[in-house]
Amino acid sequence: MSDLSDTAAEIHDEFSEHVDATVDDVEARLEKLVTEYKVPLAEARRSVENHYLDEAGLDRDELGGRGNDTVQVEDVDEPEQWVDLTAKVVELWEPRSDSVGQVGLLGDPTGTIKFTKWAKSDLANLEEGKTYRLGNVVTDEYQGRYSVKLNKTTSIEEVDEEFDVGDNEDEVEGALVDIQSGSGLIKRCPEEDCTRVLQNGRCSEHGEVEGEFDLRIKGVLDDGRDVHEVIFDEDATEALTGIGLEEAKQMAKDALDTTVVADEMRETVLGSYYRVTGPTFGRYVLANDTEKLDDAPDPEAVLIKARSI
Amino acid sequence: MSNAPTREVARRVFADEFNDAEFTFKESDDERAPLYALLPTGERANRVFVVGTLTETEDIGEDSEYWRGRVVDPTDTFFVYAGQYQPEAASALRDAETPTYVAVVGKPRTFETDDGSVNVSLRPESITTVDEATRDRWVVETAERTLERLDAFDDEGNEYAERAKAEYGEDVSAYRRAVLDALEDFDTESDEVPPADA
């Protein structure tokens, strides 16, 4: 079969419950667009689907899961995509809102991702430790972190697949060439579920609040080819710099200035080489493990190459 | 993913090549467009990362402090200048006890001297003291990156190599020689260390 008739068959399957059209009808519409009007196949497909959606009076959301891309967790890198996913329920969390039926963490061999199931979606409950094939879930993004949402069109099918859930960890290394503003001793908004970093004592959401101290470094690792932005949380910052939260508070108190903490950290760590492992969220690697690279490098391999040029 | 301007990579370049990078350019007419130095081995550098021995510091300013530091690598000397607009780097130079190993992140800058020759220097974003292991790692890494540029120098479509050939000529053998010297230097140093199981 050609791509055209494959696509026609897929579209026909999507609409078989809603529209009275044969595969040939669908293919004729596609062919007209592709052959006569030189529309790329993907765009032609969209257009033909929209035609049948109109005809059936449906929203795109109401179509079945067929025709979605089947993805793995690590492939989710764009919001508002309709995808199918086979994943294990790693953890269930306590929903913080009545509109949420279930919330937790899904995982497959490539990593983990948060999921939300709306209360009004009327779907069966997922159980921790079980693996499901989820059809027609929507991806979402918040501050560089992706999640999937289960909705009323989502299909849930328990499957008997065993795998180890991946940890999404990346490894980056290079010289620490910058510690960006917003690093060191910072204050966060104390409102529930809000952890925004305060600017001059103000939260962008909640206004003037009594902040809570925290330690953080936003750093840049650079290996001369690429740059990697890395976030060190309180523990990782202490591991990197040797300065803990209590000590940092004392330093700021003595100096009547919180910026001395970041200055001191810069002096300690800028310009040295590190290897950082951790998950990637958007443009940042979150440092779970940091290692200073201070073993003697081996010039031999480079020397051989230099002599061979 | 986002439209935020991507941060410029800090190039690795030995001092002998850096000091030859007299030609600077911008990629657009925008006033705020980044300034690049054209490296003779065929790469543009808006930022560099340098590790070497800070051998001397001197306040050469007249009205206000203006610090010059000499940072030596196996091939030559980087000249680092920091004044009132680089307060942290200036105070790092003021407070430094020489000689010491330092890491410098900075931008290449050129200026024309009275006799018409062009001097290349480094305007630091940060200067920090580092240990010997960091310096050694930098030498090997910089050798590697320089070799990569030399390797790609005659590649078809290598835009910056083309420009480098036009500005500085096609003979890059001196930079290969410098890489070899830097590594061989290093090799003798490490040969003096007895094996761990001795």
Q: What structural domains does chain B harbor?
A: 10-186 (2.40.50.140)
Q: Which residue has the higher pLDDT, A108 or B43?
A: B43
Q: Best mutation site among A145, A177, A307 for testing chain B: the one with the most B CBs within 10 Å?
A: A177
The interface predicted TM-score of the complex, written ipTM, equals 0.90
CA distance B63 to chain A (A): 27
Give the residues across from B45 on adjacent strands: B37
Please state the rounded mean pLDDT for residues A204-230.
94
Q: Which of A74-83, A299-308, B120-129 has the highest mean pLDDT?
A: B120-129
- Distance, in Å, from the CA atom of A209 to the CA atom of A212, rounded to the nearest integer, reads 9
Q: Would an 8 Å CB–CB cutoff place A162 in contact with chain B?
A: no
Least confident of A75-79, B43-47, B104-108: A75-79
Residue A54, phi-psi category: left (phi > 0), alpha (psi -120 to 50), beta (remainder): alpha
- Distance, in Å, from the CA atom of A177 to the CA atom of B43, rounded to the nearest integer, reads 20
Please state the rounded mean pLDDT for residues B66-78.
96
Question: To the nearest whole number, what is the mean pLDDT of chain A?
Answer: 88
pLDDT the model gives residue B21: 97
Per the CB < 8 Å rule, is B137 touching A293?
A: yes
CA distance A160 to chain B (A): 36
pLDDT the model gives residue B198: 41
Tokens of B148: 């990569």
Contact at 8 Å (CB) between B92 and B45?
no
- Distance, in Å, from the CA atom of B168 to the CA atom of B18, rounded to the nearest integer, reads 13
Q: Would an 8 Å CB–CB cutoff place A304 in contact with chain B?
A: no
pLDDT surpasses 60 at A1 = no
Contact at 8 Å (CB) between B69 and B110?
no
Distances (CA, A) of B21 to B14, B17, B53, B124, B172: 11, 7, 21, 17, 13
Contact at 8 Å (CB) between B88 and B126?
yes
Residues of chain B with Cβ-Cβ distance to A293 below 8 Å are 133, 137
pLDDT the model gives residue B1: 41
pLDDT the model gives residue A62: 66
- Distance, in Å, from the CA atom of A144 to the CA atom of A287, rounded to the nearest integer, reads 16
Candidates A140, A150, A142; CA nearest to A118 is A150
Q: What is the pLDDT of residues A99-144, one digit of tens each?
A: 899 999 999 888 889 999 998 888 899 999 999 999 989 999 886 7
Residues of chain B with Cβ-Cβ distance to A295 below 8 Å are 133
pLDDT the model gives residue A218: 96
Contact at 8 Å (CB) between B126 and B105?
yes
Please state the rounded mean pLDDT for residues A169-175.
91
Please state the rounded mean pLDDT for residues A12-22.
81
Please state the rounded mean pLDDT for residues A187-216.
90
Residues of chain B with Cβ-Cβ distance to A267 below 8 Å are 128-129
Other Cβ atoms closer than 10 A to A161: 12
Per the CB < 8 Å rule, is B49 touching A266?
A: no
Global confidence as pTM: 0.71
pLDDT surpasses 70 at B192 = no
Q: Percentage of residues in chain A with pLDDT exceeding 70?
A: 96
- Angle formed by the axes of helices A23-31 and A41-56, nearest 10°: 130
pLDDT surpasses 50 at B3 = no
Other Cβ atoms closer than 10 A to A254: 9
Q: Which residue has the higher pLDDT, A145 or B164?
A: B164
CA distance A140 to chain B (A): 14
Provide φ and ψ at A228, rounded to 5°.
-130, 125
pLDDT surpasses 70 at B73 = yes
pLDDT the model gives residue A194: 85
pLDDT surpasses 80 at A171 = yes
Please state the rounded mean pLDDT for residues A159-180.
88
Count Cβ–Cβ pairs < 8 Å, chain A vs chain B: 113
pLDDT the model gives residue B57: 96
The SS3 call for residue B142 is: helix
Per the CB < 8 Å rule, is A272 touching B131?
A: yes
Per the CB < 8 Å rule, is A270 touching B105?
A: yes
Element (H, E) at A281: strand A273-281
Q: Widest CA span of chain B, in angstroms?
A: 62
The SS3 call for residue A206 is: coil
Please state the rounded mean pLDDT for residues A227-242.
95
> Please, which pLDDT band fits residue A61 given cuts at 50, 70 and 90?
low
Q: Which residue has the higher pLDDT, A13 or B1?
A: A13
Least confident of A11-20, A196-205, B188-197: B188-197
CA distance B115 to chain A (A): 35
Residue type for B174, please?
A
Question: To the nearest whole number, what is the mean pLDDT of chain B?
Answer: 91
User: Judging by beta carbons within 10 Å of its beta carbon (0-12, 13-18, 19+), is residue A118 exposed, middle or buried?
Assistant: middle
pLDDT the model gives residue A7: 87
Candidates A224, A221, A272, A269; CA nearest to B10 is A224
Tally: H helices and E strands in chain A:
7, 16
- Distance, in Å, from the CA atom of B27 to the CA atom of B35, rounded to the nearest integer, reads 8
DSSP, res A197: B
Per the CB < 8 Å rule, is B187 touching A303?
A: yes
- Distance, in Å, from the CA atom of A154 to the CA atom of A54, rounded to the nearest integer, reads 21
pLDDT the model gives residue A158: 92
Tokens 């070497």 belong to residue? B52
